Structure 1
Amino acid sequence: MSHIVIIGAGECGARAAFALREKNFDGRITLVGAEEHLPYERPPLSKDALLHGLEPKLVSDAARYADADIDVLTGHSVESLDPAGKTFQLSNGNCLTYDRLLLTTGARPRPFPGLSGVNHRIRTLRTHGDAVAIRAALQPGKHLAIVGGGFIGLELAATARKLGATVTLVEGLPRILSRGVPEEVAVVVATRHKAEGVEILCSVKIQGLSEDREGAYVLLDDRRTIEADLIVAGIGAIPNVELARDAGLATDNGIAVDTHLETSDPDIFAAGDCCSFPLSLYDGRRVRLEAWRNAQDQGTLAAANLLGAGEAVSAVPWFWSDQYDLTLQIAGLADGAMQTVRRNMTDGAFILFHLDADGRLLAASGIGAGNAVARDIRLAEMMIAASLRPDPVVLATPGTKLKTLLAA
């Protein structure tokens, strides 16, 4: 009987395991994860999990794994991988075999330079355990300092303010959300945070972070010190490639895979945050995406290709973030855009459409309250997938339904 092993028990790995059964694979499936919990969703860790309770939001409960005959080994890290022998060794010393392997090892927070040892008041946010530790400092009378103005830091800032904590956010670049988010959208987000009482310091260089029994400290280059009860560093993520790299698999800003998510070993695939892949929609540009929906999509695709489907990656990159009542959504990749068209909507919501030199729609970035931009961003995603060249005047006209551009 064929045995497929999935190393990495997160959203992507769990999705792949169930997709294998949905595609009528009747061999053995083993899902291996280093954390004690069953696979859970990470996006709520900076939002709902901190606001409404600290139980992880499971992808599926234990009964569903049992019903699908999926063996889940939690609390087991993989120490080494031998592609030639098709074996891998667990942290408890056991050696297991596989016929085909999927790596969904994810990514980990980038540590702040210069820090070492165990830090109780300087933390990152990636796991359920991290969220539990951070939650204690999110209450009235407490001061949270956040290093990094990306999605994680800003979502955490919004949650902390809802819980009554004072927040200072420090960003070294001239503005927040400088990675992949247009400045017009970032301005709306920054303005809202400031209105909610978040102190945002941009273009600020940090000399170091430290802690003692009394608190945590952000030492700035201008000799100012920000004193806080807790510091959370959100300065990016590093793909977990060590297992693959040490086993001789190719890496390139992640575990390098082809358009079918196949690694340099034909019996090993990789998917999710840990892998980089060529995206034909953007002329074969190699990308690595840290996104919830990408983890789901690639988990399903990897399952199909483990069974020989030979399907290529075709999904349009999609990102989202909820902060206060604002929802930010981005479809596509705006790199290479030569023209941006703004479409104003009701109640201050708007979408920016990013076109290349030939007028092809590359990306769309929208922000508004609740689901104000969701429908049009979905339609824009479909236009991007179809490589359409929409009329900029039509894009900018609020009264024109985007659905008519797809029909045309």
Structure 2
Amino acid sequence: MTRLDLAQRRVLCASDENFDFDALLLATGATPRRLDIPGARLPHVFLLRTLHHCQELIAAVQAGPKRVAVIGASFIGLEVAAALRARGVQVHVIAPEAQPLARVFGERLAAAIVAKHEALGTVLHLGRKPVAIDADAVELDDGSKVAAAVVVMGVGVQPSDELAREAGIAVDRGILVDARLQTSAPGVYAAGDVARFPDPFGAAGQVRIEHWAVAQAQGRLAARNMLGFDEAYAQTPFFWSQHGDMTVAYTGHAERWDRLEESGDPQRSDYLCRFIAGERVLAVASVGRNLDSLREELAMQKALVPQG
């Protein structure tokens, strides 16, 4: 696809083969960010988004004893670090945050995740930013260098909304859609990582959630609405994140909260945390409490208010 002609209801392709449509779904996803620093495009610097990216990284570390620097300490960065440690690879993680994942999970669970990575043998360089990459090291903003034969850059993604923007469809950090996942162009829908939709919890305005379960649910709903149904998206998001033998389950969506209700100990795999705004539970994170997590998900689903 190279362009949308909304007036003619047509998709234009590079092959000169065009497709007319009555209804159209944009599921263009997102693209990994690459830091704008010297050496960011060297051949030993890897991004992760596709199976092919993963296979390339595995081949690189299997080629011989490697020391890997991971830039970024959010989900991609830390999960990659844990997976590489399981393969016996030396791993150094570089991140500007003093407490990775605290904005998502709160300080206590975030600290437990960091402690797990330290126990796995990962070396963390927190509060530091990379300023350059060369053939065998990453230079940090304090002048120090982290030796690395392979570098993985996990610093987030940006929505692939160019087609929509060029066609005049409303975008704002993603393609804006209503509760039925329809864009500002009638009959054109968006779903998945590229879509910015009304928060079904009514707490955060428009949100964009980068989890495959959300993309699947939105794809199904968009298809139904394209076929003539009139249904609002009201699905409780969920995901899990693996850090060695620690599995964190998260259901709901909380960009901010008033207070946390915590019980148990995440380092003992017995923990549950509710993220609360006002009197409403927006999200729940848990370790080792799968049944409780499912119960919380059901309760949140019942309380959802479809927007629009």
| Fold-level similarity (TM above 0.5) | yes
Q: Secondary structure at the match of 2:217?
A: helix
For residues 372-397 of structure 1, the C-alpha deviation after alignment (integer angstroms, 9 at most, x for no partner) is 22221121122223339xxxxxxxxx
Q: Match for residue 294 of structure 2?
A: 378
Residue 57 of structure 1: aligned partner: none
* Counterpart residue number, 1:269: 189
Kept after mapping to 2: 8 A contact 1:361/1:387? no
Count of equivalent residues: 302
Structure-to-structure mapping, 1:136-215, within 5 angstroms: 136-139=59-62, 141-211=65-135, 215=136
Separation (CA, whole Å) in 1 of partners of 2:152 and 2:21: 39
Q: Which has the higher contact order (CA 8 A, sep 6+)?
A: 2
The one-letter code of the counterpart of 2:172 is D
> Given residue 180 of structure 1, which amino acid in structure 2 is its aligned partner?
V
Question: Rg bigger for which structure?
Answer: 1
Q: The residue matched to 1:331 in structure 2 has which SS? A: strand
Aligned to 2:13: 90
Q: 1:283 to 1:163 in 2, by over 3 A?
A: closer
Q: Mind listing any 5+ residue stretches in structure 1 that lack a counterpart?
A: 1-77, 389-408
Which AA in structure 2 matches 1:289? I
How big is each residue's C-alpha offset from its partner over 1:116-150, in whole Å with a ceiling of 9 and x where there is no partner? 88521112101122112111233462111000001
| Alpha-carbon distance in structure 1 between the residues aligned to 2:40 and 2:256 | 42
Q: Secondary structure at the match of 1:244?
A: helix
Which deviations, in whole Å up to 9, do the C-alpha atoms of 1:140-164 show, x marking residues without a partner? 6211100000111111111111111
Q: Secondary structure at the match of 1:184?
A: helix
Identity level (%):
33
State the SS of the aligned residue for 2:283: strand
Match of 2:140 among 211, 220, 243: 220
Which residue number in structure 2 is paired with residue 317 of structure 1? 237
Q: 2 CA distance for matches of 1:365 and 1:90? A: 43
1:79, CA displacement in angstroms?
A: 1.2
Residues 271 and 299 in structure 1, CA contact (< 8 A), matched pair in contact too? yes
Report the AA paired with residue 109 of structure 2: V
- TM score, norm. by length of structure 1: 0.70
Partner SS state of residue 289, structure 1? coil
The aligned counterpart of 2:270 is 349
Report 1:252-263 matches (<5 A). Answer: 252-263=172-183
Q: Which amino acid aligns with 1:164?
A: G
In the other structure, the counterpart of 2:246 is 326
- Over 3 Å counting, the alpha-carbon distance change for 1:313 and 1:134 in structure 2 is same
Which consecutive unaligned segments of at least 5 residues does structure 2 have? none
Q: CA RMSD in A?
A: 1.9
Matched, 1:366 2:286: yes
Does the Cα contact within 8 Å between 1:273 and 1:289 map onto a contact in 2? yes
What is the identity, as a one-letter code, of the residue corresponding to 1:334?
Answer: A
What secondary structure, in the 3-state scheme, does the structure 2 residue paired with 1:281 have? coil
- The 1-side partners of 2:239 and 2:185 are apart by 30
